[in-house]
Amino acid sequence: MQDIAAWRLAVDAISLVALFVSLGAGAYAWRLKREQVTRASLDALDRRQEVIEIKFEALPSQVAWQRLSEQIGALSVDVRGLQVEIRGHGAGLKRVENQVGLLLENELKGSGN
């Protein structure tokens, strides 16, 4: 009788261990499933990567940026030269404006006589 009770206890203990092992394996599988990437999200990431690569390829190269920087520098020098020239014309325009003012004043005085 004790043999049968011992066997039942061993079978129950093994069943209990098997239950815990099954629950542990199930929990582990469930956790892995939650962390897996779905195919749809992977496709969405692929599309985003393609868009980024297309935009990256459309960016100017370092040589193009260097050339653009040199052109802007040359334009800056040209603009400074034009500013000096315009300021030089400003003084001449003031003299012309003064002469026109004198002629207008003379004409207005002459018309009143």
DSSP string, 67-113: HHHHHHHHHHHHHHHHHHHHHHHHHHHHHHHHHHHHHHHHHHHHHH-
Q: Is residue 101 part of a domain?
A: no
Indicate whether 113 pLDDT > 60.
no
Q: Is residue 99 part of a domain?
A: no
Find out whether 60 and 68 touch, Cβ atoms under 8 Å.
Answer: yes
pLDDT of residue 43: 87
Q: Is residue 55 part of a domain?
A: yes
Q: Is residue 113 part of a domain?
A: no
Indicate whether 62 pLDDT > 80.
yes
The domain tally of the chain equals 1
pTM, to two decimals? 0.39
Q: Per-residue pLDDT averaged across 92-107, rounded?
A: 88
Q: Is residue 47 part of a domain?
A: yes
Q: Is residue 8 part of a domain?
A: yes
Indicate whether 18 pLDDT > 90.
yes
Measured between alpha carbons, how far is 54 from 48 in angstroms, rounded to an integer?
10
Can you give the residue range of the structural domain that contains 61? 2-85
Q: Is residue 13 part of a domain?
A: yes
- Tens of pLDDT, residues 20-57: 999 999 999 888 877 777 778 888 899 999 999 999 98
